Structure 1
Amino acid sequence: MGFAQPERSGGAQPGRLEGAPSEWSGDAQPEPLEIAHSLAERPLRIAILGLSITSSWGNGHATTWRALVRALAQRGHDVLFLERDVPWYASHRDLPDPPWCRTVLYEDLETLRTQWGEAIAGADLVIVGSFVPDGIEVGDWVQKQARGVTAFYDIDTPVTLAALAQQACTYLSHSQLPGYDLYLSFTGGPTLERLERQFGARAARVLYCAVDPQLHAMQDVACSLDLGYMGTDSTDRRAGLETLLLAPARRWPQGRFAVAGANHPGTEDWPANVRYVPHLPPPEHRAFYGSQRFTLNLTRADMRAAGWSPSVRLFEAAACGTPIISDRWAGIEDVLTPGREIFLADSADEVLALLTDLPEDQRRAAGEAARQRVLGAHTAEHRARELEAYVAEAMGVAVSPEASP
Structure 2
Amino acid sequence: MNLAFFASSLVSAYWNGAATYYRGMVRALHERGHHVTFYEPDAFGRQQHRDMEDPPWAEVVVYAAETEAQVLQTVARARGADLVVKASGVGVHDALLERAVLDLQGPGTRVVFWDVDAPATLDRMHADAADSLRALVPRYDLVLTYGGGEPVRQAYLGLGARECVPIYNALDPATHHPVPPDPRFEGELGFLGNRLPDREARVEEFFLRAASLLPQHRMLLGGSGWQDKPMPANVRYLGHVYTADHNAFNCSPLAVLNISRESMARYGFSPATRVFEAAGAAACLITDAWEGLEQFFEPGREVLVATSGDEVAQRLAALDPASARRIGQAAYARVLAEHTYAHRAAQLDALLEGRTESTPEVAA
Same fold (TM over 0.5): yes
* Contact in 2 for aligned 1:189/1:307 (Cα 8 Å): no
Q: Which residue of 2 aligns with 1:201?
A: 161
* Contact in 2 for aligned 1:46/1:123 (Cα 8 Å): yes
* Contact in 2 for aligned 1:189/1:331 (Cα 8 Å): no
- Cα distance in 1 for residues equivalent to 2:212 and 2:41: 43
Q: Which residue of 1 aligns with 2:78?
A: 120
Give CA deviations for 1:40-99 in whole Å, capped at 9, x if unaligned.
xxxx10000001112101221211111111111122211101111114323322225233
Q: Which residue of 2 aligns with 1:261?
A: 223
- Cα distance in 2 for residues equivalent to 1:104 and 1:168: 34
Aligned length: 352
**Alpha-carbon spacing, 1:122–1:350, altered in 2? closer, same or farther (3 Å):** same
Paired letter, 2:85: I
* Contact in 2 for aligned 1:55/1:62 (Cα 8 Å): yes
- Cα distance in 2 for residues equivalent to 1:69 and 1:291: 29
Q: Which residue of 1 aligns with 2:175?
A: 215
- Cα distance in 2 for residues equivalent to 1:134 and 1:87: 13
1:236 maps onto 2:198 in alignment: yes
Q: Which residue of 2 aligns with 1:71?
A: 28
Q: Which residue of 2 aligns with 1:51?
A: 8
**Match among 177, 187, 191 for residue 225 of structure 1:** 187
1:302 maps onto 2:260 in alignment: no
**Match among 163, 169, 182 for residue 124 of structure 2:** 163
- Cα distance in 1 for residues equivalent to 2:71 and 2:315: 52
Q: Which residue of 2 aligns with 1:252?
A: 214
Tell me how far 1:115 sits from its aligned partner.
Answer: 4.9
**Match among 266, 289, 292 for residue 328 of structure 1:** 289
Q: Which residue of 1 aligns with 2:104?
A: 145
Give CA deviations for 1:93-150 in whole Å, capped at 9, x if unaligned.
2225233211111113322433551x42211111110012222221211111233111
| TM-score normalised by the chain length of structure 1 | 0.82
Tell me how far 1:163 sits from its aligned partner.
Answer: 0.5
Alignment map for 1:245-394 (pairs within 5 Å): 245-267=207-229, 269-393=230-354
* Contact in 2 for aligned 1:59/1:232 (Cα 8 Å): no
- Cα distance in 2 for residues equivalent to 1:144 and 1:191: 26
* Contact in 2 for aligned 1:227/1:296 (Cα 8 Å): yes
Paired letter, 2:24: A
Tell me how far 1:168 sits from its aligned partner.
Answer: 8.5
Tell me how far 1:229 sits from its aligned partner.
Answer: 0.3
- Cα distance in 2 for residues equivalent to 1:99 and 1:107: 22
Paired letter, 2:51: D
- Cα distance in 1 for residues equivalent to 2:319 and 2:81: 53
Question: What is the SS of the residue equivalent to 1:175?
Answer: coil
Tell me how far 1:351 sits from its aligned partner.
Answer: 2.0
Question: What is the SS of the residue equivalent to 1:375?
Answer: helix
Give CA deviations for 1:362-395 in whole Å, capped at 9, x if unaligned.
32221111111111222111111111112112xx
**Match among 53, 56, 61 for residue 18 of structure 2:** 61
* Contact in 1 for aligned 2:104/2:111 (Cα 8 Å): no
| Larger Rg, first or second structure (1 or 2) | 1
Q: Which runs of 5+ in 2 are unaligned?
A: none
| TM-score normalised by the chain length of structure 2 | 0.90
- Cα distance in 1 for residues equivalent to 2:56 and 2:269: 32
- Cα distance in 2 for residues equivalent to 1:296 and 1:317: 9
Q: Which residue of 2 aligns with 1:130?
A: 88
> CA RMSD of the aligned region, Å?
2.2
Q: Which residue of 1 aligns with 2:150?
A: 189
Paired letter, 1:127: V
* Contact in 1 for aligned 2:202/2:261 (Cα 8 Å): no
Paired letter, 1:248: A
* Contact in 1 for aligned 2:6/2:87 (Cα 8 Å): yes
Q: Which runs of 5+ in 1 are unaligned?
A: 1-43
**Match among 17, 37, 40 for residue 83 of structure 1:** 40
Question: What is the SS of the residue equivalent to 2:45?
Answer: helix
Tell me how far 1:334 sits from its aligned partner.
Answer: 1.1
- Cα distance in 1 for residues equivalent to 2:130 and 2:323: 45
- Cα distance in 2 for residues equivalent to 1:400 and 1:343: 32
